Chains A and B, each alone.
Chain A
């Protein structure tokens, strides 16, 4: 059997490792990606503040893929789901029996007029962007700093909030916070989507004197200002934007995507709708949960079980619950932790157990240490698909439902 995995990021690498362990040696596993550079993406948020240097967050994709898996470097042009082939832009054709789509989602500044070419506009979702932002921040001496989301959904939806908290702490440390107005701009009607969480995070913005601008749908950027579809304007000296996120272009070209190039995916089995031999892992699908590495991880066991069921001629037996879990850096060496799934919104309490665990939805130094420790787990346990002592399905143990919910 030929298994083809498109994308060697977080989800694609975990899928390759998990399948290599389960499939007998005669089955070939090939992974396709555009380059040989695997970026630890949570590190991109901290890089502008000098927490990491580039060497700590970048490794060779080949080096983190397991033995017995081939890496093909190239860009996918189109998938032919009927003929079961993938054509690359250089003309190579790869045949498959089972296809795993793991090409994630990417920031697309080209989709918003003025975003790619206006001075003072930065982002931290790419290595180059994050490095350039570090320089820009070092040269910033006060003024109007705007952190803005263009459109949901985005990868790691809490990251822009974390950036706002971290930049507030950073500017205080440098003694220029009182010369800086920080504004957080979002198309949502609050700091975050989920009600309990949005309220808690909204408090943190207020405490830090960060202005919250809601329901702002960005239409274009011109010199020093954001302009919305309903003609509101927000001035900036330094803009840290989160561009529209979209799935890969080949998904649209192959007729496999929705209007943002996400593959319609069965949210429980992780199979592409209408294509029994196409699977979707990580951010590439349209699952109604966060686009985040934790989701890729928590869903991996379900994907692997179902994949093995299907190649053995059975119906898929495992069902994904949408479990997601994120650390939220709040500055000054502290962080919050949230844990939720398709049905249950982030709640206060402790994780993973009622008495032994990290505080949920509350600032703590332990959560920050957890976030820092996670980089090692990522490289040495998560990517190689080693068993972690945390269950994949979300648990209500340790969670408390606030009054009135």
Chain B
């Protein structure tokens, strides 16, 4: 896995730029990751990211948009407003998590 520097942190990323090590992420990386995909982070964005990080810790996989609505309480419509186009993928990218599996 390649190593890159984001907000002065050395992190491991995959071919698409997703962080591969859960523990290499900290909240200070989020604004830089968000900016890279054209998102200006607000507190509401961070609430979603915080939920995703906590959920990943217990579940071992990235929450889908449905789970983020059902368990996290963030309506899918709002997820689309906050992370336009591909919320599942964008939320995971900013939270330093793998892409949600969605389908197999």
Partner pick for A230 among B70, B71, B84, B101, CB 8 A cutoff: B84
| B71 close to A188 (CB less than 8 A) | no
A151-B66, A153-B104, A188-B102 as given contacts; A217 in contact with B80, CB under 8 Å: yes
Question: For window 110-162 of chain A, which residues contact chain B by CB distance below 8 Å?
Answer: 151-154, 157
- Whole-angstrom distance between the Cβ of A190 and the nearest chain B Cβ: 10
Q: Which residues of chain B are within 8 angstroms of A259 by Cβ–Cβ distance?
A: 66-67, 70-71
| B84 close to A189 (CB less than 8 A) | no
Q: Which residues of chain A are within 8 angstroms of B102 by Cβ–Cβ distance?
A: 152-153, 187-188, 193
Task: Other than A189-B86, A259-B70, give 18 A-B pairs with Cβ distance below 8 A.
Answer: A151-B66, A152-B103, A153-B104, A154-B103, A157-B104, A188-B103, A189-B89, A192-B103, A193-B102, A217-B80, A219-B76, A219-B77, A229-B76, A229-B77, A230-B80, A259-B67, A288-B101, A290-B104
Partner pick for A215 among B67, B77, B85, B104, CB 8 A cutoff: B85
Binary per-residue interface labels of chain B (64-104) against chain A in the complex, 1 for a CB within 8 Å, 0 otherwise = 01110011000011011000111001000000000001111
| A193 close to B104 (CB less than 8 A) | yes
Question: For window 88-112 of chain A, which residues contact chain B by CB distance below 8 Å?
Answer: none
Inter-chain CA distance A215–B61, complex, in Å, is 21
Binary per-residue interface labels of chain A (212-224) against chain B in the complex, 1 for a CB within 8 Å, 0 otherwise = 0001010100000
A215-B86, A217-B80, A229-B80 as given contacts; A153 in contact with B103, CB under 8 Å: yes
Partner pick for B76 among A188, A189, A217, A258, CB 8 A cutoff: A217
Give B67's nearest chain A residue, CB to CB. Answer: A259
> Which residues of B approach A to under 8 Å, CB–CB?
61, 65-67, 70-71, 76-77, 79-80, 84-86, 89, 101-104
- Whole-angstrom distance between the Cβ of A153 and the nearest chain B Cβ: 5
Give A189's nearest chain B residue, CB to CB. Answer: B86
| A217 close to B103 (CB less than 8 A) | no
- Whole-angstrom distance between the Cβ of B13 and the nearest chain A Cβ: 18
Q: Which residues of chain B are within 8 angstroms of A187 by Cβ–Cβ distance?
A: 102
- Whole-angstrom distance between the Cβ of A219 and the nearest chain B Cβ: 7
Q: Which residues of chain B are within 8 angstroms of A153 by Cβ–Cβ distance?
A: 102-104
Inter-chain CA distance A151–B70, complex, in Å, is 14
* A325 at the B interface (CB under 8 A): no
| B104 close to A288 (CB less than 8 A) | yes
Give A295's nearest chain B residue, CB to CB. Answer: B104
- Whole-angstrom distance between the Cβ of B51 and the nearest chain A Cβ: 13
Q: List 16 A-B pairs, Cβ < 8 Å.
A: A151-B66, A153-B102, A153-B104, A154-B103, A157-B104, A188-B102, A188-B103, A192-B103, A193-B104, A215-B85, A217-B76, A229-B79, A258-B67, A259-B66, A288-B61, A288-B104
- Whole-angstrom distance between the Cβ of A343 and the nearest chain B Cβ: 12
Give B101's nearest chain A residue, CB to CB. Answer: A288
- Whole-angstrom distance between the Cβ of B56 and the nearest chain A Cβ: 14
The number of inter-chain residue pairs (CB within 8 angstroms) is: 43
Question: For window 275-290 of chain A, which residues contact chain B by CB distance below 8 Å?
Answer: 288-290
Binary per-residue interface labels of chain A (221-261) against chain B in the complex, 1 for a CB within 8 Å, 0 otherwise = 00000000110000000000000000000000000001110
Give B76's nearest chain A residue, CB to CB. Answer: A229
Q: Which residues of chain A are within 8 angstroms of B71 by Cβ–Cβ distance?
A: 259
Inter-chain CA distance A151–B103, complex, in Å, is 9
Give B84's nearest chain A residue, CB to CB. Answer: A230
Q: Which residues of chain B are within 8 angstroms of A219 by Cβ–Cβ distance?
A: 76-77
Inter-chain CA distance A229–B74, complex, in Å, is 13
Q: Which residues of chain B are within 8 angstroms of A260 by Cβ–Cβ distance?
A: 66
Inter-chain CA distance A187–B77, complex, in Å, is 14
A189-B89, A215-B86, A217-B65 as given contacts; A157 in contact with B70, CB under 8 Å: no
Q: Which residues of chain B are within 8 angstroms of A288 by Cβ–Cβ distance?
A: 61, 101, 104
Give B61's nearest chain A residue, CB to CB. Answer: A288
Give B71's nearest chain A residue, CB to CB. Answer: A259
Which of B61, B71, B103 has the most CB atoms of chain A within a 10 A radius of its CB?
B103
- Whole-angstrom distance between the Cβ of B2 and the nearest chain A Cβ: 16
Question: For window 176-199 of chain A, which residues contact chain B by CB distance below 8 Å?
Answer: 187-189, 192-193
